[in-house]
A and B are shown apart, each in its own frame.
Chain A
């Protein structure tokens, strides 16, 4: 039995009370006295030369305070890219400038050309419409392969081509892989697209810049997953504000899914403009603006080949991927198709040699960057689809083929540079098989057929690397930032605790789970612990939340700080009990001396630390506050097995999900209910990708799916009740909690099983269809069935 409110308890999310009763404090809820409003004039063409921007009429319109254009940002830094990839030939990637407001050229629909600051938002919009832009439209580069043809129009004139980098991984394996494929008994090949997605958090982005003339300090309130990162990037690289003069606050944030990691132009603009006009400046994105300015996700075109020997053992994998960067490099864009994708190509399987080639391409589209799973869903999808196709071609059971090739001994060094510390892939597959009644499938299929429907069962496995992660490793891989995490544990005089963490909660439930860990360690009630996050002024420098890293890295930092607290508290307790420190034990919030009836309560020790009348002042300082920075030695490797059962209506092509089961190994679990919820949400997004979501540009670079009228988000009735199982647990070997991270698994693990199930259904109906690109929409399924 877990302790009430301790590790392993399904404590209800305390933050939900304020979120559900309208008491949250989101960035748009913040209004700073005297604030003005900004409206951005955005490009309505994908590619064009700016010949002139005439603001003279607009400047005289009612309420207009000042109009900014690219010229105002000349000599000011552009938006930096936080990751440098080195290509196959040892050369650095091509890295274009990314001005805050467009200079000389616009490069995607939505690229900001000018910004009007006015007394009201409507006045700002009116004036923005009155700005006259003389734009010479240029042909748009949209298709990645066409972008790389010799003589193609260039997105950035000062680069040699539209190729950002041509990455080979592991380059030394290239020949060995070619050889293994040549000599294989069987090779299965699949070409596919992992379509572009729009993150669409419920809360659009907001930025408020504020400048304090008295202190010379700037404050940015922003919808961010990592306020310290924004402070560093914007302060050091864009605006040149030293960190002690810059505060970044990310209060309640209504979802991010990756899209709120990055440093955006609007943040830099509002901070800059507030100082320039000496008034707070506020921007709130409309949903339409979000579609055109939030970094988008995925967008890979891939060919994968899987080689097998005569006994169906995997012998090699070769992939070639085109990865769309969009028009500029968003903050972490280069890392997604490389280090977050290539390193995962081994999956759960012991394939001896692997070669991954990725060509990253500039196009006249919105920049692409990390979106829930980031690179790992793309890796998982191609691998698990090609394995399914191989099983069909070879006439073997898809589960048996996977089990035969599973990695079973740990630690396991993959041929793609990572080392899995622990796992039990048969264990999660067993857990999955217990949930799905595979034996009953034939009868369920027959029942569907009696109704005129086709039924399919799809399976897949996944592994991911998260808890992102070791600073020295990512430094070697090109990261321009550290990836440790920090926490300060402040114990108050009466025993209550505030944890100030560099992690940031935007839906994950840290305010509930982090206190559970502290409560367990000290043996006090979780209600005595409060979490503070999201304000650079009162949290230690941390790297924020993404890559399923909060509990694994941020939680570990908190544990380390709490360990320091406990060690110091034991010293105080030993003094109070006149005992040897080594004999002091802490249990249920009481310090006691082994083998005696001496004890002193947690609260008394805390009070002594702040009222040090009877206190070992010669040995230790008063007070009880400790900070820790934790830098892990490896990623964590959650893994699992998922299954999906679908019914396809052959007349309309509509796919209905009948059941979905997920067996994950997350190592130790702090709050099972929250973990279930994270998996549910992730699967919802995965099903959204598999069946519904599609970000589409036409060949002029216009976004066709620019609103919810055309961009299909999953809704409650699109998804089934999920069955999830987290009983298979191999604790992480290198962090103090033995946790692995669960935030992205659902989105990484779910799309292949949906598509595998649809293909299985169509094959059962005698349709020779071996792949349909996502989203597997009714029209695409119908077209595939009818060769239309």
Chain B
């Protein structure tokens, strides 16, 4: 690890101010950032911990939406249950240590192409709330490790509309146990959304053919034999593009069947 300065503000405003320093970086649960620092793959001048900011914590459920503070841990989301499919997803991220430190804000900001949360945000049609604005999920994810966040912009909360039915199916990469392919399916007021993580070279994406098929017939049978094209899917030592495309079809059917 290279040396860095450290700040631990107690308000979002102070955090934003602290992050205006050149090469400053936000630190949330540290489950991605700390290993990166240990391997000397990043050298921020300053780490601004978000851990002391009370307004980033907590889950509120009112009416049609559930709002989760960006600093809320995976374990807290897992225990919440307001959106069962989301809690189940959070409860299956990493191991207990990761779930008790890692946060939803950190996961979305990082936008790892194999992470679970991005598919839930996109699948549920969430809104990402920052210190400056609100960004709909469809605009937020912009490819591998890339988001709509500006330099120094902080996610403060994520607002999820409550679905009528939803489910997340994760096929684990054998080593990391991140998603080799993960599919989040949600049926809501505005129709069916199918979001896929782990598979594409462009990161999380919506599988529109499946959405269309499910829109008229929300059943696994509606997707019989369907899979997205292998073109543009990730190919690595854990699976070829064709294998991943197949898994997208299989996991989507299973998610629909489980969502009921």
With contacts A122-B1, A710-B237, A778-B239 known, is A705 near B250, CB below 8 A? no
Task: Let me know if A463 is at the binding interface, CB within 8 A.
Answer: no
Q: Identify B39's interface contact among A122, A288, A704, A778, CB under 8 A.
A: A288
Instruction: Contact check, B243 vs A788: say whether CB atoms are below 8 A apart.
Output: yes
With contacts A696-B237, A704-B237, A779-B238 known, is A709 near B176, CB below 8 A? yes
Chain A residues with Cβ below 8 Å from B2 are 126
Chain A residues with Cβ below 8 Å from B250 are 651-652
Instruction: Contact check, B240 vs A652: say whether CB atoms are below 8 A apart.
Output: no
In the assembly, what is the distance between CA of A783 and CA of B180, in Å? 16
With contacts A694-B237, A704-B237, A705-B237 known, is A779 near B243, CB below 8 A? yes
Instruction: Contact check, A783 vs B240: say whether CB atoms are below 8 A apart.
Output: yes
Task: Let me know if A711 is at the binding interface, CB within 8 A.
Answer: yes
Task: Let me know if B247 is at the binding interface, CB within 8 A.
Answer: yes
* Chain B, Cβ-Cβ closest to A651: B250
- Taken residue by residue from 114 to 125, chain A's Cβ proximity to chain B (1 for < 8 Å, 0 otherwise) reads as 000000001001
Instruction: Contact check, B243 vs A708: say whether CB atoms are below 8 A apart.
Output: no
Question: What's the interface size class on B, roughly?
Answer: 10 to 19
Q: Which chain B residues numbered 1 to 43 have a C-beta less than 8 Å away from chain A?
A: 1-3, 39-40
Instruction: Contact check, B1 vs A777: say whether CB atoms are below 8 A apart.
Output: no
Task: Let me know if B242 is at the binding interface, CB within 8 A.
Answer: yes
Chain B residues with Cβ below 8 Å from A711 are 175
In the assembly, what is the distance between CA of A779 and CA of B242, in Å? 10
- Taken residue by residue from 231 to 253, chain B's Cβ proximity to chain A (1 for < 8 Å, 0 otherwise) reads as 00000011110110011001000
Task: Let me know if A662 is at the binding interface, CB within 8 A.
Answer: no
Instruction: Contact check, B176 vs A710: say whether CB atoms are below 8 A apart.
Output: yes
* Chain B, Cβ-Cβ closest to A788: B242
Instruction: Give the shortest distance, in Å, between A719 (CB) and chain B (any CB).
Output: 13
Chain A residues with Cβ below 8 Å from B240 are 779, 783, 788
Q: Identify B246's interface contact among A122, A712, A782, CB under 8 A.
A: A782
Task: Let me know if A692 is at the binding interface, CB within 8 A.
Answer: yes
- Taken residue by residue from 694 to 716, chain A's Cβ proximity to chain B (1 for < 8 Å, 0 otherwise) reads as 10100000001100111111000
In the assembly, what is the distance between CA of A710 and CA of B236, in Å? 10
Chain B residues with Cβ below 8 Å from A710 are 175-176, 237-238
* Chain B, Cβ-Cβ closest to A653: B243
Instruction: Contact check, A708 vs B175: say whether CB atoms are below 8 A apart.
Output: yes
Q: Determine chain B's interface SS by DSSP, over half rule.
A: loop
Instruction: Contact check, A779 vs B239: say whether CB atoms are below 8 A apart.
Output: yes
Interface size counted on chain A using CB atoms at 8 A? 29
Instruction: Give the shortest distance, in Å, between A164 (CB) and chain B (any CB).
Output: 27
Chain B residues with Cβ below 8 Å from A288 are 39
Instruction: Give the shortest distance, in Å, between B249 (CB) and chain A (any CB).
Output: 9
Chain A residues with Cβ below 8 Å from B176 are 708-710
- Taken residue by residue from 166 to 186, chain B's Cβ proximity to chain A (1 for < 8 Å, 0 otherwise) reads as 000001001110001000000
Chain A residues with Cβ below 8 Å from B243 are 653, 778-779, 782-783, 788
* Chain B, Cβ-Cβ closest to A649: B250
* Chain B, Cβ-Cβ closest to A705: B237
Q: Which chain A residues numbered 636 to 671 have a C-beta less than 8 Å away from chain B?
A: 651-654
Chain A residues with Cβ below 8 Å from B175 are 692, 705, 708-713
Q: Which chain B residues numbered 132 to 170 have a C-beta less than 8 Å away from chain A?
A: none
- Taken residue by residue from 666 to 680, chain A's Cβ proximity to chain B (1 for < 8 Å, 0 otherwise) reads as 000000000000000
In the assembly, what is the distance between CA of A406 and CA of B180, in Å? 44
Chain A residues with Cβ below 8 Å from B239 are 777-779
* Chain B, Cβ-Cβ closest to A781: B243
Chain B residues with Cβ below 8 Å from A713 are 175
In the assembly, what is the distance between CA of A151 and CA of B234, in Å? 36
Q: Which chain B residues numbered 55 to 98 have a C-beta less than 8 Å away from chain A?
A: none
Chain A residues with Cβ below 8 Å from B237 are 694, 696, 704-705, 710
The CB with the most chain A CB atoms within 10 A, among B40, B174, B180, B250, is that of B174
Instruction: Contact check, A652 vs B247: say whether CB atoms are below 8 A apart.
Output: yes
Chain A residues with Cβ below 8 Å from B246 are 651, 782, 786
- Taken residue by residue from 201 to 244, chain B's Cβ proximity to chain A (1 for < 8 Å, 0 otherwise) reads as 00000000000000000000000000000000000011110110
Instruction: Contact check, A712 vs B174: say whether CB atoms are below 8 A apart.
Output: yes
Q: Identify A652's interface contact among B1, B3, B171, B238, CB under 8 A.
A: B171
Instruction: Give the shortest distance, in Å, between A39 (CB) and chain B (any CB).
Output: 11
Chain B residues with Cβ below 8 Å from A691 are 174
Instruction: Give the shortest distance, in Å, between B242 (CB) and chain A (any CB).
Output: 5
* Chain B, Cβ-Cβ closest to A713: B175
Instruction: Give the shortest distance, in Å, between B185 (CB) and chain A (any CB).
Output: 17
Chain B residues with Cβ below 8 Å from A651 are 246, 250
Chain B residues with Cβ below 8 Å from A122 are 1, 3
Instruction: Give the shortest distance, in Å, between B183 (CB) and chain A (any CB).
Output: 12
Chain B residues with Cβ below 8 Å from A788 are 240, 242-243
Instruction: Contact check, B171 vs A777: say whether CB atoms are below 8 A apart.
Output: no
In the assembly, what is the distance between CA of A778 and CA of B173, in Å? 10
Chain B residues with Cβ below 8 Å from A777 are 174, 238-239
Q: Which chain B residues numbered 39 to 53 have a C-beta less than 8 Å away from chain A?
A: 39-40
The CB with the most chain B CB atoms within 10 A, among A705, A713, A778, A786, is that of A778
In the assembly, what is the distance between CA of A777 and CA of B180, in Å? 12
Instruction: Give the shortest distance, in Å, between B139 (CB) and chain A (any CB).
Output: 29
Instruction: Give the shortest distance, in Å, between A657 (CB) and chain B (any CB).
Output: 14
Instruction: Give the shortest distance, in Å, between B114 (CB) and chain A (any CB).
Output: 10
* Chain B, Cβ-Cβ closest to A710: B175
In the assembly, what is the distance between CA of A713 and CA of B177, in Å? 11
Chain A residues with Cβ below 8 Å from B247 are 652
Instruction: Give the shortest distance, in Å, between A776 (CB) and chain B (any CB).
Output: 11
- Taken residue by residue from 741 to 775, chain A's Cβ proximity to chain B (1 for < 8 Å, 0 otherwise) reads as 00000000000000000000000000000000001
* Chain B, Cβ-Cβ closest to A288: B39
* Chain B, Cβ-Cβ closest to A708: B175
In the assembly, what is the distance between CA of A126 and CA of B3, in Å? 10
Chain B residues with Cβ below 8 Å from A652 are 171, 247, 250
Chain B residues with Cβ below 8 Å from A126 are 2
Chain B residues with Cβ below 8 Å from A704 are 237
Chain A residues with Cβ below 8 Å from B3 are 122
* Chain A, Cβ-Cβ closest to B181: A652
In the assembly, what is the distance between CA of A691 and CA of B238, in Å? 12
* Chain B, Cβ-Cβ closest to A775: B174
In the assembly, what is the distance between CA of A691 and CA of B3, in Å? 41
The CB with the most chain B CB atoms within 10 A, among A125, A779, A786, is that of A779
The CB with the most chain B CB atoms within 10 A, among A122, A288, A708, A712, is that of A712
In the assembly, what is the distance between CA of A623 and CA of B193, in Å? 84
Chain B residues with Cβ below 8 Å from A129 are 40
Which are the 4 A-B pairs with shortest beta-carbon distances?
Answer: A779-B239, A712-B175, A712-B174, A709-B176
A/B interface sample: 22 pairs, CB < 8 A: A122-B3, A129-B40, A653-B243, A654-B171, A692-B174, A692-B175, A696-B237, A705-B237, A708-B175, A710-B175, A710-B237, A711-B175, A713-B175, A777-B174, A777-B239, A778-B174, A778-B243, A779-B239, A782-B243, A783-B240, A786-B246, A788-B240
11 more CB-based (< 8 A) A-B contacts, given A652-B247, A779-B239: A126-B2, A691-B174, A709-B175, A710-B175, A710-B237, A711-B175, A713-B175, A777-B238, A778-B180, A779-B240, A788-B240
